[in-house]
Amino acid sequence: MALKIIQECICCDACVPVCPTSAIECDDPVYVIDSALCTECVGYFKEPECVKVCPVDCIVTDEELGESKEQLTKKFKMSRQ
Model pLDDT, residue 42: 94
Q: Which regions in the chain score pLDDT beneath 70?
A: 1
d(CA 29, CA 6): 10
Which domain does 29 fall in, by range? Answer: 2-79
Instruction: Please tell me whether the overall predicted TM-score, pTM, comes out greater than 0.95 for this model.
Output: no
Cα angle 54, 35, 19 (rounded to 5 degrees) comes to: 40
Counted domains in the chain = 1
Model pLDDT, residue 1: 59
Model pLDDT, residue 65: 82
Note the pLDDT tens digit of each residue in 12-30: 999 999 999 999 999 888 8
User: What's 70's domain CATH number?
Assistant: 3.30.70.20
